[in-house]
Amino acid sequence: MEAQESNGRGRSRGKRYVYSFGGGKADGNAGLNWLLGGKGANLAEMAGLGLPVPAGMTISTEVCTYYYAHGRTYPTELEKQVQTGLSRIEKVMKRRFGDPKNPLLLSVRSGARVSMPGMMDTVLNLGLNDETVLGLIKQSGNPRFAYDCYRRFVQMYGDVVLGLKPESKTERDPFEVLLEHKKEARGITLDTDLTTDDLRELVAAFKGLIQDRLHVSFPNDPWEQLWGAVGAVFGSWNNQRAITYRKIENIPGEWGTAVTVQSMVFGNLGDDCATGVAFTRDLATGEEALNGDFLVNAQGEDVVAGIRTPQQITLAASRQRAVRESHSEEERKAQYPSLEERMPANYTTLQEIAQTLEAHYRDAQDIEFTIEREKLWMLQTRTAKRTAASAVKIAVDMAQEGLIDERTAVLRVKPEQLDQLLHPMLDPNAPKQRLTRGLPASPGAVSGEVVFSADDAEEAKHAGRKVILVRIETSPEDIHGMHAAEGILTARGGASSHAALVSRGMGKCAVVGCEALEIDYERQEFRVRGAEGVLRAGEWITLDGSTGEVFRGQVPTREPSPTAEFTTFMAWADRFRRLRVRANADTPHDAQVARTFGAEGIGLCRTEHMFFDGERIDAVREMILAEDTAGRVRALDKIIPMQKEDFIGILRAMAGLPVTIRLLDPPLHEFLPNTEEDLVDLAQKLNVPVERLRTKRNALHELNPMLGHRGCRLGVTFPEIYEAQTRAIMEAACELTREGVHVIPEIMVPLVGFKRELDLLRERIVRVCTEVIHAQGVTVPYTIGTMIEVPRAALVADTIAATAEFFSFGTNDLTQMALGISRDDAGKFLPEYVAQGIFPQDPFVSLDQSGVGLLVELAVRKGRVARPDLKIGICGEHGGDPASVQFCHQASLDYVSCSPYRVPIARLAAAHAALREKPPVKTRRAPRRKQAEPVQAAATA
C-alpha cells in the first residue's frame, strides 16, 4: 500500500508523509492505523467525526521505515509537508509556533499500529523558550504555570531527546537531584510550593546541567526542538524496551511508529481545568456504564501516576466509593465530587462523545480527555482492554443491541481468555509474596499446606486439610495424592509431563518444571535456589496455575461464575464451528464434568489411570508379577470387573456420544513401587519374598521407557491384557445397550507404527467383541482405530488406515519422537530454547506446525486416500491450544479432544478457525451448522 498525495487533478505530487487533522477535518481515518499508528488514526477519525480534537498532524510510519533504511535521515519532501501541516495547526488553533506573543505549544508522541504502552518516547510543551514563555504567561495569565511548563519541557527534552540520563544504576536522575536541592534550599517538600522564581531558576539550572554534561546548548529555536523530538520518537522505536515488548507481543519490527504532533491543551491552568480517562463500559464486569477517573487542575500523566487519588467521573461511582471508604455524603462532596457534579456541562459532553464513539467504533472505548477552561478536548480513543468476563458480556450485549453481528461478537473474545472464567483466580488486590515461577501447566489458583508424598496428601485430605503436593516430578503412582491435593507443584517436567496432563485432566491447578526448586524429601522441606529460607511440610503456599507463580502463604481467591451471557456466547460460537470438540477423561466424574462443559464425546480415556485406584493397583501388580499367562489371567480377572464399572459410568455419562477408550499404554514398571520401603510393604501385602519383587523390578527397568516396552507392544506380547480390557469395554457397552442407553464405544490401540501390529491386535479385539456380543445377545456398533503417535505411523498412514477405522493423533508422543525431545526432561532446556527463538513456543503446548504438522497433514492425506470416511481427531495436549485447534481445522480433522476444563476454549477456537476462513455473513443470524453427530445441548460451564 502506498500513500500518494493528489493535487486534485488526478496527478500525483509525490508521496504523502504527513496527515493533518483538526477543525472538523482530517486527511486520514481509523482504517489507516497501519500508516498513522493507532493514536494518529483515531485522532483523525475523531476529528473527521467533528469531535473536539486539538489540531495536529501525524508523520506516517513510512517515514520511520525510511529513517532506518537511510541512516536515520528523512525523505526530502518531509520538511515541506511538516511546515504545511504546522501552518494548518496554527490556523485552526489561532496561535503561532515560536510566536513570543501568542505561541503554539506542541506535544510530540509516538503511535504504533498496536498500542505499546509506555515503551516509546513523548515530549510535551514543545516550543517554549525564554521569549515564548512570556507569551504563555500572557495567554494563561499565570506566570507560575508557564514556568512550570517550561521547567518540565527542558527536563523532558533533556532526558528524551538529548539523552541526559543517570550514568549508572545507582545514580539518581540528575534533573530530579537539582529539583530536590531547590526544595531543600527553600525548605519545602512539595513541587507545588515552588514559586515562579524558583521555577525560572530551575529552567536555567537544567540548561546549565545540559551544557556541563553534554557540552551542547539547549536549543531555543522551536523548529530545532521539533525536529529533535521527531527524531527521538522515531529513534525510540528501537530502544531496548520497545524491542523486548515487540518480541513478547509478536509485533513485527518493520511496522515502525508514526509520530503525532499535536497542539497542547492544558488541564492544569486552574480549577476550571481537568484531565481524565474514561471507559465507555465497565471493563471488569462489562456493564454498560460510562466510568473512569479525573483530576481537577492536573496534567494527563498525573491521573495514571497515582500521585493524587483521582475522583470518579459519575456520581454513582463516587457514591459507591463513599460506601467503600465509609464517608458521609458531605465528606464525599467535599473531598471527591464526581465530574457529573463538578463540571456538569463537560460531563454531558463527555457522555455524548462516549456514545458517539461506541456507536461509531462498535466496541468499548478507552478515552483520554482534557478540560481546558471549561472546554473539553479529546486526546485519544482506543479499543478498551477488558477482562474475560466483561469481554463476553460486552460482545453479547453489543450483538443484542444490534451494534455488531454474532460473528463479530464471537471473534471479539480470545479463546485463551475464557480460561479466566473457568477456574478460580487469585484476588488481584491481595498482597502477595512471590517465591518462584514455573510453567503454568493447569490453571486455577489454590492454597494449601506443603506435602511431599501422595500418601501424605491423601491422609491430610481425610483429616480435612488442604494440601499442595510438591514433588520433583510425579508418576502414575502419585495419582491418589494428586487427586487429594488442591494443586500440584513439580520441579521437573514440561507442559505434557505426567503432572501437567493429569492435572489438566482433573481440572486441578498445577505449576510444573519449577527448576529453581530444591526439594529434600528426607528433610521434608524445599528451598528456592537464589532465595532465602526454606519451606517445610505443613507450611502454606499458593499456586497460580495461569501464570506459573508460586507464593508463600495463603492468597485469597475469587470463584468463577458463568453467566447467562457466557451460555449465549458459547451457543453462538457452536453455530459457527465445524470441528467437534471432545474431552480427555478417565473417570465417570470427569466425563460428567466434560459434558457440562459441552464436550461432544470422549477423545481419549487413558485406561491405565483406572489401574491405580484403591485396591486395583495390587491386582495390577499381581498381574505384573505373574510368571505365566494363567497367572496374569487370574490377576486380570480381579481387575476387569472394576474397570468394567468405570466403563459403564463413562459410557453412561456420554450416552449418545462417542467414547474412545485406549488400551493399556505405559510400560509396566510404572505400576511398581519406586522406593525400597514401598517394595517391602508390597511384598508383605502380596505375600511374596521381597527379593522376587526386586528381581522383577530390575527386569522391567528400562533405559528409555518412553521408547520401550509399552503401547501396542504390550498388547502384542501379553495378548491377555488387551483381551481382558476389550471384554470389559464390550460387556459394559452391552449391558448399557440392554438398559436402553445409546453407547458408541471406539477401541483405540496406542503406539502403532506398523500395519502388522494393528492387524494382529484388531483380529484379537474383534474376536473378543464378537464373543461378548454373542453371549450378551445384543448388538453394539463399535469401531477399532489407532493413535498416530509414532512418526512411522504417519509416514505409512495409508497402510495403517486399511485396518484402522479411525486415527487419533497422539501429538504428545508424536512431538517427542519427531523432535527427539523427551517430554519429561525438556524442562531443563526448553525455556532457553524458546528464549533464544529456536522454538517460537513450547512445542508440547502449541503444535510445531512446520515440523510435526507436516506429519499430521501427510497422515490425514494418506489415511483418507486409503479410507475416505476415516474419522480423524487429536488427543494430545495440543487439542486444547487455540493455535493448534486452528491448525486441526485447516488440516481437516474431524475433532479435537482436550481436558474437560479446556473444552469451551477449544469450542471457541474452533469457531474462530471456521470464521476466519469464511467471508463475513451479511445477515445478523448465523448459519446453522450441519450436525453429523449428536450435539450436547446444555453447553455451559
- Catalytic residue positions, numbered: 498, 875
Q: How far is the CB of 810 from Mg ion (least distance, A)?
A: 4
- The one-letter amino acid code at 22 reads G
Does 811 bind ligand PEP (CB under 6 A)? Our answer is yes
Considering only residues 482 to 511 of the shown chain, the ones binding ligand PEP according to CB under 6 A are 501
Q: Which is nearer to Mg ion, 158 or 810 (CB)?
A: 810
Type and span of the H or E element at 331? helix 329-335
Residues 850-909 that bind Mg ion (CB under 5 A): none
Return contacts of 642-647, CB within 8 angstroms, 24+ apart. Answer: 642/610, 642/613, 642/616, 643/607, 643/610, 643/611, 643/616, 643/725, 643/728, 644/728, 644/729, 644/731, 644/732, 645/732, 646/587, 646/588, 646/610, 647/728, 647/729, 647/732, 647/733, 647/745
**Closer to ligand PEP at the Cβ: 438 or 876?**
876
Find the shortest distance in angstroms from Cβ 49 to ligand PEP. Answer: 53
* Least distance in angstroms from the C-beta of 897 to ligand PEP: 9
Figure out which of the listed residues 48, 810, 843, 863 binds ligand PEP, where binding follows CB under 6 A. Answer: 810
Question: Closest separation between CB of residue 444 and ligand PEP, Å?
Answer: 21
Q: Is 826 in the site for ligand PEP (CB under 6 A)?
A: no
Using the rule CB under 6 A, is 904 a contact of ligand PEP?
A: no
User: What's the grid cell of residue 529?
Assistant: 535456589
CA-nearest of 654, 640, 486, 509 to 585 is 654
Nearest alpha-carbon partner for 611 in 784, 811, 450, 475: 475
**From 32-40, 303-311, 802-810, 924-932, span contacting Mg ion (CB under 5 A):** 802-810
**Closer Cβ to Mg ion, 444 or 853, answer by number:** 853
Choice between 810 and 843, CB closer to ligand PEP = 810
Give strand pairing partners of 489: 470, 511
Q: Residue 826: how many CB atoms within 10 A of its CB?
A: 24
In this chain, which of 48, 256, 810, 843 binds Mg ion, going by CB under 5 A? 810
789 interacts with ligand PEP by CB under 6 A: yes
Cα(62)–Cα(32) distance, integer angstroms? 12
813: contact with ligand PEP by CB under 6 A: yes
- Using rule CB under 6 A, residue 372 touches ligand PEP: no
Site mask for Mg ion (CB under 5 A), range 753-792, x = bound: ------------------------------------x---
Select from 174, 440, 876, 900 the one that contacts ligand PEP (CB under 6 A).
876
Count of chain residues binding ligand PEP (CB under 6 A):
11
What gap in Å lies between CA 471 and CA 133, rounded to an integer?
Answer: 67
Interaction between residue 893 and ligand PEP (CB under 6 A) = no
The nearer residue to Mg ion, 384 or 749, going by C-beta atoms, is: 749
Tell the smallest beta-carbon distance from residue 820 to ligand PEP (Å): 15
**380 neighbors 40 (Cβ within 8 angstroms):** no
Task: For residue 531, give Cα distances in angstroms to 159, 534, 535, 832, 835.
Answer: 36, 9, 11, 21, 23
| Pair type for strands 487-490 and 557-558 | unpaired
What does the block give as the cell for 255? 511496522
Distances (CA, A) of 791 to 666, 741, 804: 18, 38, 16
The verdict on 812 binding ligand PEP (CB under 6 A) reads: yes
Neighbours of 374 (CB within 10 A): 11
Q: What's the closest the beta carbon of residue 875 comes to Mg ion, in angstroms? A: 8
Residue (270 or 708) nearer to ligand PEP, CB? 708
- Indicate whether 785 belongs to the interface with ligand PEP (CB under 6 A): no
Query: 58 and 33 in contact (C-beta within 8 Å)?
Result: no
Nearer to ligand PEP, 85 or 715 (CB): 715
In angstroms, rounded to a whole number, what is the distance separating the alpha carbons of residues 78 and 81? Answer: 5
What span, in angstroms and rounded, lies between the C-alpha atoms of 818 and 59?
A: 49
Instruction: Please spell the DSSP secondary structure of 138-197, one letter per residue.
Output: HHHS-HHHHHHHHHHHHHHHHHHTT----SSSSSPPHHHHHHHHHHHHHT---GGG--HH
Give the nearest distance from C-beta 461 to ligand PEP in angstroms.
Answer: 26
What's the closest the beta carbon of residue 34 comes to ligand PEP, in angstroms? 40
Q: Residue of minimal CB distance from Mg ion?
A: 813
Q: How many CB atoms lie within 10 A of CB 101?
A: 12
Span of 16-24, 335-343, 519-527, 807-815 interacting with Mg ion by CB under 5 A: 807-815
List interacting residues with ligand PEP (CB under 6 A): 501, 604, 606, 665, 789, 810-813, 875-876
Interacting residue ranges for Mg ion, rule: CB under 5 A? 789, 810, 813
